[in-house]
Structure 1
């Protein structure tokens, strides 16, 4: 017999695995993939708890959301969704990151300057009873019934069963800062901690200069990640991200291949002055510590910026790759100075209001 008792916190969120394309078989629900902080919201009536993906409380960072959700949601309700910050140009992940700050005074100020929103996309409990064992389609119907008349900062994510419509979302919604499309089996129950959904993201490639590397964990015989650069119109080489998914054999091979480029690299390296980078420079300097680095050793080894590789990426955040890229191949035919920002695809802007109203 399936229990319908109200689940207790914390709950591991159900996760998604990457797919190259939208599924063609029937029986899927499609939703936009929001670019924010995953959160599960518990409203017991006495208190409202915002739980992060890694099972930690988020209430102190989003006091305006805690108050709004407490007033808007019925007692005994648990929602799965995403915390986002919206700006005139669409979703603003940089502004969202700034909300995670140790100073209460700064949190209070940013809650007014960059207020957050919560986009709900699943229902885990209602009326004090669990809905986790119900099929996805039934949970969606109940979620629509529960949130049919909600107002900002609480939103119900759009949903479609039409694959062609989902394809349009995949192309258009990126212009509003969204991250792709999620596909969910209509018949599936909620599976905490399991990769039981599909996420389809934009896939592009770029030729980048390899200008340095980090060691693999505590070893000195293997490369952990490659530091990537692109030139701007003024000829300045900017750190744009990393490529880090390699087998151990490839990590050791990379160290041998890159060894000649380490000779004399430090003296004239364009990033040489970043050795003492501060937390405030973490977004553009490869060795900087920040509250996101978790105390990891981010020291790096410079390479003469002469070698070019092609990497696969999903999208940009400002002038950097939003996530780690995937190494595809070396490009010995391409000179480093040709690795410029102007090769990157420009996303057509799209109004975020149209996404919420889809």
Structure 2
């Protein structure tokens, strides 16, 4: 491979801001694997956000790149997987694509095919475009990449702030998680947080049903395990919260000891998991958690916390939540899925089109 921009490239990053800034260009924020795709003739490589090669996991993206991209180019974008009915994104299915067995990779490429969403052009033919302002790179991207599928798409873009605000509200229903704002005069700066991202932020009251011990101190809490009651009255594991200073971690450890209970009396037993209850050990066998201790200390589900989250991925929080406060005024039984804001359903095809 001989390109004017050679792997590995650490992608340009975004910093979180509370509001969509004016006088920028705006794109949907895709919820997938950040990827830089390099094509030089018959050679295609895919690099991850941390610059590691992920080419072998997405053979269908390689095929699409050979079919739908210019002969010699480097593109920044996102690898995503649609859900079963192609109405939204499925991050869980995307996670399953990282598998060590080649036979499994081939099977999943057929069952849950990924596509590449291109949003920046870093090189074309013999020209390094990273020094150009984004407005020029975008124009070159539009001219060079058709981007209407079936394997490579060009992300939508608007210069209109009001339309970006509508996207922020609508596109979440298709599984996207916000808006990215870009300075049209900005050159491409690898590994620098020079873009802005605006993500949904909400709060929810959750039951504290367990904790994991801190890896650096056996008298400190590493994370609190959170639960919500489903329609059948089962306490489902929905995620964790873990952002507090060490002094507070030790205070929590002492505060929670009176609530420690026998695992057999806890809602998250192996039997409960087998009967359909989502528990913290459900992913214990995942290759993502290989060698990771997922054991936890069970607590009587009596304390309630308010946490900040961005969005849900199926029955759980998509990312680690941020602790807002303990809620002694709330009963654990009131912590149900019904309190969560549900985004309006929006078709993925409407996001890819336009």
1:124 matched residue in structure 2: 122
RMSD of equivalent CA atoms: 2.1
In 2: Cα distance, 1:137 partner to 1:251 partner: 47
Q: How far does residue 337 in structure 1 lie from its aligned partner after superposition?
A: 1.1
For residue 68 of structure 2, the aligned residue among 72, 75, 85 is 72
Q: Could you tell me which of 323, 347, 354 is aligned with 1:351?
A: 347
Corresponding position of 1:109: 107
**Contact in 2 for aligned 1:65/1:153 (Cα 8 Å):** yes
Provide the rounded CA distance (Å) in 2 between the counterparts of 1:246 and 1:15: 25
Give the Cα separation in 1 of the matches to 2:156 and 2:8.
26
C-alpha distance in structure 1 between counterparts of 2:105 and 2:296, whole Å:
32
Partner of 2:40: 44
| CA distance in 2: counterparts of 1:294 and 1:274, whole angstroms | 23
Write out per-residue CA displacement over residues 194-224 of structure 1, whole angstroms, 9 at most, x where no aligned residue: 2111111111111000011112223212211
Aligned ranges for residues 131-170 of structure 1 at < 5 Å?
131-148=129-146, 150-170=148-168
Inter-CA distance 283–66: structure 2 relative to 1 (3 Å threshold): farther
Cα shift at 1:322: 0.6
Give the drift of 1:297. Answer: 2.3
Counterpart CA distance in 2 for 1:143 and 1:254 is 52
> How is 1:229-244 mapped onto 2 (pairs within 5 angstroms)?
229-244=227-242
For residue 304 of structure 1, report the CA deviation from its aligned partner. 1.2
1:291-310 mapped onto 2 (5 Å cutoff): 291-310=287-306
Deviation at 1:267, TM superposition (A): 4.5
TM-score (norm: length of structure 2): 0.93
Secondary structure of the structure 2 residue equivalent to 1:78: strand
SS of 2:131's partner is coil
1:253 to 224, 243, 251: 251
**Which segment is superposed worse, 251-260 or 163-172?**
251-260
CA shift in 2, pair 1:165/1:343, >3 Å: same
Per-residue deviation, residues 292-329 of structure 1 (Å, max 9, x unmatched) = 12522222111111000000111111101111111001
Instruction: Work out whether residues 29 and 184 of structure 1, in 8 Å CA contact, stay in contact via their aligned partners in 2.
Output: yes
Determine the C-alpha separation between the residues in 1 that align with 2:159 and 2:189.
21
Question: Deviations for 1:222-274, whole angstroms, at most 9, x for unmatched residues?
Answer: 21111000011221111000011112222222222222212x35351111438
Matches of 1:127 and 1:117, distance apart in 2 = 23
Task: Give the aligned length.
Answer: 348
**Which sits farther off after the overlay, 127-136 or 32-41?**
127-136
Counterpart CA distance in 2 for 1:348 and 1:46 is 42
Partner Cα distance (2:247, 2:255) in 1: 12
Residue 178 of structure 2 corresponds to residue 180 of structure 1: yes
Mapped to 2, the partners of 1:183 and 1:256 lie a distance apart of: 44
Structure-2 separation of matches of 1:62 and 1:48? 11
The answer to whether the Cα contact below 8 Å between 1:75 and 1:128 also exists between their aligned partners in 2 is no
Report the Cα distance in structure 1 between the residues aligned to 2:28 and 2:247, rounded to whole angstroms. Answer: 37
Preserved CA contact (<8 Å) 2:79 2:116: yes
Q: Deviation string for 1:102-145 (max 9, x for gaps)?
A: 22222212212221110001111111221111111111111111
Return 5+ residue gaps in structure 2 as ranges.
none
Tell me the CA shift for residue 283 of structure 1: 7.2
Give the equivalent residue in structure 2 for 1:338: 334
Contact 2:70 2:145 survives alignment (8 Å) = no
Moved more, 80-89 or 33-42: 80-89
